[in-house]
Structure 1
Amino acid sequence: MATAPSTDEVIDEFLSQRGHETEAVGWDENYNKKQCPDCGGLHEPTANECSVCGWIPAGSR
């Protein structure tokens, strides 16, 4: 018996067919610091959350 795709898979496929990126977003890197992709705040390599805007990388919740 086959299983139906999850809602997330259906939405990701819909968006990707229309040119949107569907990969999980993580930290950017700037020299030896982590950089928040939302606000550009710089953090130590051990940071788990942006202390400027509160952004948390996908999969960290």
Structure 2
Amino acid sequence: MPDQTTPATPPPAEQLPEAASGRRYVENKPPRGLYVRVFIYVVATHALLAFMSLLVVIAKTR
């Protein structure tokens, strides 16, 4: 066992310079592109469903 005791808190680490855009990476937050893709998928799915429903309505009237 060493004679020296370890400090309770680690020494301060050197801080990395922030990116030029000013945005920081946050691990708990999903990337913004994910929200955009989900929005597009939801809109596209609803548009496809509306088109298929329209086809069914037109087919029933004939």
Please, what TM-score do these two structures have when normalized by structure 2? 0.23
Q: Greater helix percent: which structure?
A: 2
Greater C-alpha Rg: 2
Please, what TM-score do these two structures have when normalized by structure 1? 0.23
Q: Greater strand percent: which structure?
A: 1
Choose between structure 1 and 2 for higher RCO, CA contacts under 8 A separated by at least 6 residues: 1
